[in-house]
Structure 1
Amino acid sequence: MVTIENRIPIFRRGNILDKEVLDNMKETPYEYYSLSYNEYSNGVICGIETYAEDEFLYITAGIIKYNNFYYKIKEKLKIEIPIEDGDYILKVKFLPPVEVEKGKYEKYSIEIFFSIDGKCQNNEMELVRIKRREGAEIRNPSAFVGIDKEYNIVNEIHKFKSTASGVSFPSKLLKIYAGRIFDEKEMESLDEVFCSTALNGSVSRELLNAYIKRRIREECHQADNQKIYEYLKQIYNSMKGNRFVRGSNVKKKNLMMVE
């Protein structure tokens, strides 16, 4: 388990604004976050990308919003992946704020840990799932289809991506989806626009809803991430294969041999 602390100076009559307090304000501009992301949902604002390497899971620096507070992870984290068989969830647990150093700061802490419990409590948020089977290497996803079914793969489907229009699908998985479609499928103009936006990492929930509705006529405003994943798989599987030769702009010719 890893514990991260965020300390916010308390401006109270009689408190002294020493160098430590001022440096803290400079390094952690919570007022800026509040103004910039006030309308955003709970979830990952930026960063917090995960990947596996040598039986460890790494989490990059970033910001998570929860209950109108912005939890900052300043450096890359390294967490050992359990070796025993099991379906594990990497959770973030948000602890109640407490005053420390005689009321000088308010401390907001999070704990990041693997759990075998499949449900997140009200003060928890999921980052990753891994269906662990001993003896095989943990892999990072490269294909879009099968992420939720395969063993020993880093599954971010249920990670909340925070946007101004609500919780959206994880940016990394949308980039995999878009990359696969560009490489393998014949696209309509709608697909080109959506996939180009996804590769730039800026897909809002509003855009995601509109794309799914236009492509398969499904309303998904209330859909959770697992359902969104199913809709995107349906779109992907319904698209025709790309007729262009990989690495060139020349179409394959349909040839017929006559004996």
Structure 2
Amino acid sequence: MKKRKEVGDSLFANQYPHFQKGRILKREMLENLRDYPREFLDLYFQDYSNGIIAGVNIIVADASVIITKGIIKHNGKLYVLHSSYELPYEATGNETILKVRFAEEVNDSDFTNYTTDIVLDHSIELAHNELELARFKLKLGAKLRSEHIDFLDFATEYNTVNYLHCQYAGLQKSTYHPIILHYFARELLKNRPSNPYDIAFALECINQERVQRDAINFYICNRLELDYQTLSNSQIHKYLNRILVESKGGGRMTGQNKGRPKRMIVD
């Protein structure tokens, strides 16, 4: 599938100059040092997992998806997309994964280059050098959309950009995409919840740049009185939706049924 981009645009990249005795100091090398505060960024995000650091949202055009500028992390290195990138798509009726594919480092006399490609792939398996940004399943004759109606809509199977399996960077381990959590929090607070877990977690989702995965797991398990365990992205959406349904009906308060046996989640 042919890719389209504007002149001067580039894909995610990581480039740093080589300052060596006897070499000519080039303007591009100094500009690279000026424009990329590498040490600060590396230190700030050193404890983050692989995944999206900032930006990298998906916008749907007539016949292409647009990946907005942003930062991602892979194998300890930050990659910056300096301008939006446009990628044509087709309706196949099959699961299509929007992936970033990382190339091996390339050294030349001036730079060490870490580059990427952005692809649409029908394989749901991720290779060691791939990162999922989103996925969709588009029926023939249908239009793809990136705007969601409500929280449940993020799990719509067809014709909708799906962020559920996106890898979003968190401390030590990847976490859930904040776009999904913002939808959840807004819907939950509109129901005027009385459960203290609901209020605290919803405000955290709205107020914070990202919510760490451990906080999400603890909230869901405590709120639904489940034995603690690490939840998959699909499980997180399923149980957050259950909480929304309970809150609309004046759901029970955690701790009211102290004799209630604990439950285990089966994916």
Q: What range is the shorter-chain TM-score in? A: 0.7 to 0.9
Q: Does the alignment pair 1:192 with 2:199? A: yes
| Segment of structure 1 superposing worse, 172-181 or 12-21 | 12-21
SS of equivalent to 2:160? coil
Alpha-carbon deviation of 1:14? Answer: 3.6
Alignment match, 1:62: 70
SS in 2 for 1:157: coil
Which residue number in structure 2 is paired with residue 41 of structure 1?
49
SS at match of 2:189: helix
Amino acid at match of 1:97: E
1:84 equivalent in structure 2: 92
SS of 2:29's equivalent in the other structure is: helix
Tell me the equivalent position of 1:179: 186
Q: Equivalent residue for 2:175?
A: 168
Q: Following the alignment from structure 1 to structure 2, what is the Cα–Cα distance between the partners of residues 148 and 195?
A: 20
Q: CA RMSD in A?
A: 2.1
Q: Within 2, Cα distance between the matches of 1:81 and 1:133?
A: 12
What secondary structure does 2:200 align onto?
A: helix
Does residue 144 (structure 1) correspond to residue 136 (structure 2)? The answer is no
SS of 1:134's partner is: coil
1:128 counterpart residue number: 134
SS class of match (1:85): coil
> Partners in 2 of 1:219 and 1:42 — Cα distance?
28
Matching residue within 113, 121, 146 for 1:115: 121
Instruction: Identify unmatched segments of 5+ residues in structure 1.
Output: 243-259
Could you tell which deviates more after superposition, 200-209 or 9-18? 9-18
| Contact 1:220–1:228, Cα closer than 8 Å, also in 2 | no
Under a length normalisation based on structure 2, what TM-score does the superposition of the two structures give?
Answer: 0.82
Change (3 A) 1:236 1:13: farther
Please give the alpha-carbon distance, in whole angstroms, between the structure 2 residues aligned to 1:171 and 1:219.
25
Q: TM-score, normalised by structure 1?
A: 0.84
Q: Tell me: CA distance 1:221–1:79, structure 2 relative to 1, closer, same or farther (3 Å).
A: farther
Query: Which of 26, 30, 35 does residue 27 from structure 1 map onto?
Result: 35
CA distance in 2, matches of 1:23, 1:221: 48
SS of residue in 2 equivalent to 1:227: helix
1:47 to 1:117, Cα distance in 2 relative to 1, 3 A = same
User: What does the per-residue CA deviation read over 1:29-67, in whole Å, with 9 as the maximum and x for residues that have no partner?
Assistant: 221111101111111111111122323212111110100
**C-alpha deviations, 1:187-221, integer Å up to 9, x for none?**
42321221122123331223222212221234666
Shift of 1:131: 1.1
Q: Which amino acid aligns with 1:233?
A: N
Partners of 1:221 and 1:61 in 2: CA distance: 35
* Cα deviation, residue 181, structure 1: 1.5
Q: 1:66 to 1:185 in 2, by over 3 A?
A: same
Structure 2 gaps of 5+ residues are: 5-9, 251-267
Alignment of 1:230-245 (within 5 A): 230-241=238-249
One-letter amino acid matched to 1:85: G
Q: Is the 8 A contact 1:89 1:129 kept in 2?
A: yes
Cα deviations by residue, 1:222-259 (Å, 9 ceiling, x for unpaired): 333222222222222232347xxxxxxxxxxxxxxxxx
Could you report, residue by residue, the CA deviation over 1:157-193 in whole angstroms, capped at 9, with x for unpaired residues? Answer: 1111112242110011111111221234634232122
Letter in 1 for 2:55: G
- Equivalent AA in structure 2 for residue 81 of structure 1: Y
Mapped pair 1:156 → 2:163: yes
1:45 touches 1:161 (CA, 8 Å); kept in 2? Answer: yes
Render the CA deviation track for 1:143-166: whole Å, top value 9, x for unaligned: 111433431001011111112242
Measured in 1, the distance between the counterparts of 2:227 and 2:49 equals 20
Task: Spell out the pairing of 1:238-253 with structure 2 (5 A cutoff).
Answer: 238-241=246-249
Q: Distance in 2 between matches of 1:122 and 1:165?
A: 18
Alpha-carbon distance, 1:105 to partner: 0.3
